[in-house]
């Protein structure tokens, strides 16, 4: 009995020491099991064998479940999970997919620019596994910037930009040291918000762009945008340096560099950049890889350098085939319109002449170009009589709903100057139907309606009130408001509007004369007299 108890105690001690090997020498456990198996083969010691077997199986199960990670150091786990996550789904793939969520970074038509990186092309299991690994890393190291960045990218890809922005803002702030990838994402987010008509912090955009451009993998689109911001703020040399850096990373960006040189009138730089554009984009012409953007880019730099016939030729060549290429047609129309504008000449007597055949040629290139109707409207404003064909083009664009709010506003102005109030009213109404927030059209329509019939005054007051709500500090609108209030017999209210207009523009003699009439109507002769003296002084008449 005592020998059995001693044997149990010895085996219990042995089993305990074997379990300790889990933490000290995991590989030795397998050897112990083999030793026990060999011992059982010769001694048939069942007790020793059955103690080793469960110990070995437990260790094996633990290893299979936890992948040996239970016994690793924290830094070793973090490194292994990081490597495994990068192997499963590289950060660069996540970045490209996340950037594709921003419209300006991801053109709708892959033939016209940067290829589309569709987030849906990433399998769900790959995203879920990457998220799991990043979460494990953060459970060990809550301030691990790389893991936080990968999680934020995954949130962005899965359509939760708010959650991604919260993490990216934290990383971009520099709290954990420079993390320029996050600055790049934040810059994209701010630019997208601006495109969506949201209020943005321009200083924050500039800071993020500046930090992002120091990242070797920054998207070249951001470098080009930073160059534009630098140019707008008067840092032209820095803007040129940034644009050159973008062109160095992506030769197609020579087009942006050429545009910059064109804006600052640097002919030598424009010539050099244009040559690079011709080389880069011209290499694909008349091949199976040709894209519309290739001809558009070449046409643009030729136009910038004053080579108008060559710009027209490159587009006409592309349109000569059977394929419908609306972008080329629109570009050709725009170039011909620009040539037409240069043909407009002011004569010594103040009248204007223009080569209308050039405008007709633009319509031949793209009859649906809304800029054509805008040019026709400008003809009317300059009292240039359009040809019958141009009138027909205008009527068709109006019937097809192609014309813009600006075109109808200019047409209305032209008709009003010619004394055709009926057509003027019609076109201002069409302008407002296309753009209800066109303050100028509201103002002009209000005044024209009121002058056409006293019955229209209430409606005119509504229109001018809307115009003032859109543009509250517009002296012309305040003048009209005062005039309409006078028509409605509300002289005291009219005085307030006239005074506001004069405060904004003290040189408005016409408004001051209306104010004199309002003072007299309101029974304020002293104020009317004082204002009349000011008008006489301004006009240079003797008191």
Tally helices (H) and strands (E) across the chain: 28, 2
Who's near 310: CB < 8 A, 6+ residues apart? 302
Q: C-alpha angle 519/521/525, rounded to 5°?
A: 45
The reported pLDDT for the residue numbered 114 is: 40
Who's near 159: CB < 8 A, 6+ residues apart? 101
Mean pLDDT of 117-121: 61
Q: Which DSSP state fits 352? A: E
* Residue with tokens 């030769």, as numbered in its chain: 251
Phi/psi of residue 175, each to 5°? -60, -35
Spatial CA neighbour of 62 closest among 27, 34, 22, 24: 22
The CATH superfamily holding the domain 404-472 is: Tetratricopeptide repeat domain (1.25.40.10)
The reported pLDDT for the residue numbered 199 is: 85
Mean pLDDT of 186-203: 86
Q: Environment class of residue 419 by beta-carbon count within 10 Å: exposed (0-12), middle (13-18) or buried (19+)?
A: exposed
The token pair at 257 is 């560099």
The reported pLDDT for the residue numbered 98 is: 85
> Do 473-543 and 404-472 fall under one CATH topology?
yes
pLDDT > 50? residue 223: yes
Could you give the percent of the chain with pLDDT greater than 90?
A: 25
The reported pLDDT for the residue numbered 203 is: 87
Q: Are 187 and 205 spatial neighbours (Cβ–Cβ below 8 Å)? A: yes
Mean pLDDT of 292-320: 93
pLDDT > 80? residue 110: no
Rounded CA Rg of the chain:
38
pLDDT > 70? residue 345: yes
Domain residue ranges in the chain: 2-62, 72-214, 404-472, 473-543
List alpha helices for 320-420, DSSP H.
326-342, 356-365, 370-381, 388-399, 405-417
Q: How far is CA 466 from the centre of its chain?
A: 29
Spatial CA neighbour of 341 closest among 356, 329, 351: 356
* Residue with tokens 């999970």, as numbered in its chain: 81
CA distances from 137 to 132, 170, 224, 285 (A): 9, 18, 36, 50
Using DSSP's 3-state secondary structure scheme, residue 319 falls into helix
Mean pLDDT of 340-347: 90
Spatial CA neighbour of 213 closest among 252, 181, 250: 181
Mean pLDDT of 209-215: 87
Topology of domain 473-543, CATH: 1.25.40
Spatial CA neighbour of 269 closest among 281, 259, 279: 259
Using DSSP's 3-state secondary structure scheme, residue 346 falls into strand
Using DSSP's 3-state secondary structure scheme, residue 258 falls into helix
pLDDT > 90? residue 328: yes
pLDDT > 70? residue 115: no
The reported pLDDT for the residue numbered 116 is: 44
* Residue with tokens 């028509």, as numbered in its chain: 487
pLDDT > 70? residue 233: yes
Q: How many CA atoms lie within 13 A of 379 on its CB side?
A: 22
The reported pLDDT for the residue numbered 140 is: 80
Q: pLDDT tens, 380-410?
A: 788 888 888 888 888 888 888 888 888 888 8
Q: Are 303 and 338 spatial neighbours (Cβ–Cβ below 8 Å)? A: yes
Q: pLDDT tens, 18-55?
A: 555 544 444 444 555 555 455 444 444 555 555 556 66
Q: What's the rounded Cα separation, in Å, for the pair 398 and 368?
A: 10
Strand partners, 353: 345
Q: Are 411 and 377 spatial neighbours (Cβ–Cβ below 8 Å)? A: yes
The reported pLDDT for the residue numbered 300 is: 94
Q: What's the rounded Cα separation, in Å, for the pair 362 and 356?
A: 10
Strand partners, 345: 353
Higher pLDDT, 181 or 126: 181
Q: pLDDT tens, 477-491?
A: 999 999 999 998 998
Q: pLDDT tens, 60-107?
A: 666 555 555 555 566 776 777 778 778 887 888 888 888 888 877 765
Q: What's the rounded Cα separation, in Å, for the pair 239 and 228?
A: 7
Query: Which is it for the CA torsion 17, 18, 23, 28, positive or negative?
Result: positive
Strand partners, 346: 352
The reported pLDDT for the residue numbered 279 is: 93
The mean-pLDDT minimum among 3-12, 152-161, 437-446, 448-457 falls in: 3-12
Q: pLDDT tens, 242-274?
A: 999 999 988 999 999 999 999 999 999 999 999
Identify each DSSP E strand in 108-223 by its residue range.
none
Buried b / exposed e along 271-282 (16+ C-beta atoms within 10 A): eebbebbbebbe
């Amino acid at each position: 009995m005592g020998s059995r108890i001693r044997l149990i105690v010895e085996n219990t001690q042995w089993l305990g020491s074997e379990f300790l090997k889990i933490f000290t020498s995991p590989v030795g456990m397998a050897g112990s099991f083999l030793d026990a198996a060999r011992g059982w083969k010769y001694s048939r010691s069942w007790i020793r064998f059955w103690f080793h077997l469960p110990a070995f199986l437990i260790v094996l199960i633990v290893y299979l479940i936890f992948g040996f990670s239970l016994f690793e150091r924290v830094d070793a786990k973090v490194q292994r999970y990081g490597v495994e996550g990068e192997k499963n789904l590289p950060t660069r793939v996540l970045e490209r997919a996340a950037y594709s969520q921003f419209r300006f970074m991801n053109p709708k038509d892959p033939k016209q620019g940067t290829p589309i990186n569709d987030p849906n092309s990433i399998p769900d299991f790959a995203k879920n596994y990457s998220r799991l690994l990043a979460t494990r890393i953060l459970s060990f190291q809550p301030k691990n910037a790389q893991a936080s960045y990968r999680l934020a990218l995954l949130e962005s890809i899965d359509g939760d930009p708010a959650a991604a922005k919260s993490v990216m803002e934290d990383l971009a702030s520099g709290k954990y040291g420079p993390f320029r990838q996050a600055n790049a994402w934040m810059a994209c987010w701010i630019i997208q918000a601006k495109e969506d008509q949201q209020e943005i912090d321009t200083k924050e955009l500039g800071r993020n762009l500046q930090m992002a451009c120091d990242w070797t993998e920054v998207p070249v689109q951001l470098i080009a945008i930073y160059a534009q911001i630098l140019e707008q703020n008067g840092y032209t040399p820095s803007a040129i340096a940034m644009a050159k850096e973008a062109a160095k990373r992506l030769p197609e960006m020579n087009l942006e560099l050429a545009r910059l040189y064109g804006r600052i009138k640097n002919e030598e730089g424009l010539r050099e950049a244009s040559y690079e554009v011709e080389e880069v984009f011209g290499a694909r012409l008349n091949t199976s890889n040709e894209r519309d953007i290739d001809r558009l880019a070449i046409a643009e730099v030729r136009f910038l350098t004053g080579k108008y016939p060559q710009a027209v030729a490159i587009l006409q060549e592309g349109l000569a085939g059977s394929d419908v290429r609306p972008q080329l047609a629109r570009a050709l129309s725009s170039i011909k319109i620009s040539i037409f504008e240069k043909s407009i000449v002011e004569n010594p007597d103040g009248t204007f002449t223009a080569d209308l055949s050039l405008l007709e040629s633009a319509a031949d290139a793209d009859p649906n170009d809304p800029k054509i109707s805008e040019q026709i409207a400008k003809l009317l404003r300059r009292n240039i009589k359009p040809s019958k064909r141009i009138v027909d083009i205008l009527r068709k664009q109006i019937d097809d709903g192609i014309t813009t709010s600006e075109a109808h506003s200019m047409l209305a102005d032209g008709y009003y100057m010619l004394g055709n109030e009926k057509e003027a009213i019609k076109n201002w109404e069409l302008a407002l139907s296309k753009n209800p927030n066109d303050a100028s059209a509201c103002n002009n329509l209000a005044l024209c309606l009121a002058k056409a019939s006293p019955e229209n005054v209430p409606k005119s007051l509504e229109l001018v009130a809307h115009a003032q709500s859109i543009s509250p500090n517009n002296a012309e609108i305040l003048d009209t408001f005062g005039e309409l209030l006078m028509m409605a017999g509300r002289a005291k209210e009219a005085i307030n509007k006239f005074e506001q207009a004069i405060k904004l523009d003290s040189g408005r003699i016409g408004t001051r004369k209306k104010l004199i009439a309002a003072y007299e109507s309101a029974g304020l002769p002293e104020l009317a007299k004082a204002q009349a003296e000011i008008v006489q002084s301004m006009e240079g008449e003797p008191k």
